[in-house]
């Protein structure tokens, strides 16, 4: 059974600092990995999807890397802004999606 | 463009009452549809998924059921709610294609069973 872990559970940084969010998974036989953003009381918004054959994906200030062999993915958010405050979840697709519990980010102005 | 509608946004129901949550998708046809539940501080749990009208797969045994009466409509139901059914329910859809498709979520329903 796939286990997805996100550490830390919460993170607080000053505005402008770069964010590094970690995701680890136990079974490396995956199709893809997705990163989502969730605002309080809202649904999830897909940020980036990395196919198993890819090493990274970039969108604006966001960059996600994938190391299948070690079972790790990292989401980098450059030059954080207060609007980046949210919970970020990763999900691993290995026939079905398994979600981590998320990292709640607070960016202080 | 594709959109997904989920309602209601919040719901407070007494124990033993019935439940019906509805989800519809616009702008696409023959999508895969999903119901998830999110407990506080935990990851999302897949409850049901559907690859077509009348085709429902259940991931966990529970007090809930799902139906897909139309191509782009997905309904989550219960005949008698339990306290443990409280949570944040999310509907989602994906393109029916090869593996690796993105998942798109509705805005969620916060259900409180009292």
> For B32-45, how does the pLDDT look when each residue is reduced to its tens digit (9 = 90+)?
999 999 987 778 99
* Partner-chain contact B46 A4, CB within 8 Å: no
d(CA B5, CA B75): 12
- CA A1 to chain centroid, in Å, comes to 20
- Sign of the dihedral defined by the CA atoms of residues A3, B4, B64, A37, in that order: positive
Scan for tokens 């890819």, then name that residue: A54
* Partner-chain contact B44 A96, CB within 8 Å: no
pLDDT of residue A48 exceeding 70: yes
Computed over every residue of chain A, the mean pLDDT equals 94
Scan for tokens 């998924």, then name that residue: B49
pLDDT at residue B97, rounded to an integer: 63
pLDDT of residue B98 exceeding 70: no
Name chain A contacts of B108, Cβ cutoff 8 Å.
41-43
- Of the candidates A31, A46, A97, the beta carbon closest to that of B46 is on A97
- Cis previous bond, B106, omega within 30: no
* Partner-chain contact B100 A93, CB within 8 Å: yes
């Amino acid at each position: 059974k796939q286990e997805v872990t996100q550490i830390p559970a919460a993170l607080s940084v000053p505005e402008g600092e770069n964010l590094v969010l970690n995701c680890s998974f136990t079974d490396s036989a995956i199709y893809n990995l997705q990163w989502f953003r969730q605002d309080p009381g809202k649904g999830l918004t897909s940020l980036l999807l990395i196919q198993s054959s890819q090493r990274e994906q970039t969108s604006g200030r966001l960059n996600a890397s994938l190391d299948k062999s070690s079972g790790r993915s990292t989401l980098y958010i450059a030059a954080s802004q207060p609007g980046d405050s949210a919970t970020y979840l990763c999900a691993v697709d290995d026939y079905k999606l398994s979600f981590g519990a998320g990292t709640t980010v607070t960016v202080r102005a | 463009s594709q959109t997904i509608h989920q309602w209601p946004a919040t719901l407070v129901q007494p124990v033993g009452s019935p439940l019906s949550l509805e989800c519809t998708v616009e702008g696409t046809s023959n999508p895969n549809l999903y119901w998830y539940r999110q407990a506080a501080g935990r990851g999302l749990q897949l409850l049901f998924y559907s690859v077509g009208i009348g085709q429902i797969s259940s991931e966990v045994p529970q007090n809930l059921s799902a139906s897909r009466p139309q191509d782009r409509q997905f309904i989550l139901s219960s005949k008698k709610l339990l306290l443990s059914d409280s949570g944040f329910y999310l509907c989602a859809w994906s393109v029916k294609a090869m593996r690796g498709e993105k998942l798109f979520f509705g805005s969620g329903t916060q259900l409180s069973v009292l």
